[in-house]
Amino acid sequence: MEEFIKEKIQEIAFVKVKNDDLLWTDKILDSITIVELVVEIESEYAIKIPMNDITLENFETVDLIVKYIQNKLN
């Protein structure tokens, strides 16, 4: 799961990231690219991510994204 997310971020933002990189704070992702990432995640894991869930608490790092997806899948 984390490799999928890292690969998608690299495809979208042209940056290799580590699990604890600050995706929004360090401006790796912006409002457009985060939506692209969410669409990829929804497609890959057959989940729906409401816009109000796209927050720093859920999407600031790869680790937080993985945790969020795992919670949605359970």
Query: Residue 63: is it exposed, middle or buried by C-beta count within 10 angstroms (0-12/13-18/19+)?
Result: middle
pTM of the predicted structure, to 2 decimals? 0.95
Dihedrals φ, ψ of 43, to 5°? Answer: -65, -45
Query: What is the CATH topology of the domain spanning 2-73?
Result: 1.10.1200
Structure confidence at residue 7 (pLDDT): 98
> For residues 54 and 71, what is the distance between their CA atoms, to the nearest angstrom?
14
Structure confidence at residue 42 (pLDDT): 98
Q: Read off the pLDDT of each residue in 26-37 and give the average, rounded to a whole number.
A: 96
pLDDT band at 71 (very low <50, low <70, confident <90, very high): very high
Give the start-to-end residue ranges of the domains of the chain. 2-73
pLDDT band at 56 (very low <50, low <70, confident <90, very high): very high
pLDDT band at 68 (very low <50, low <70, confident <90, very high): very high
> For residues 52 and 68, what is the distance between their CA atoms, to the nearest angstrom?
13
Could you tell me the end-to-end alpha-carbon distance of the chain, in angstroms, rounded to an integer?
14
Dmax over Cα atoms in the chain, in whole Å?
A: 31
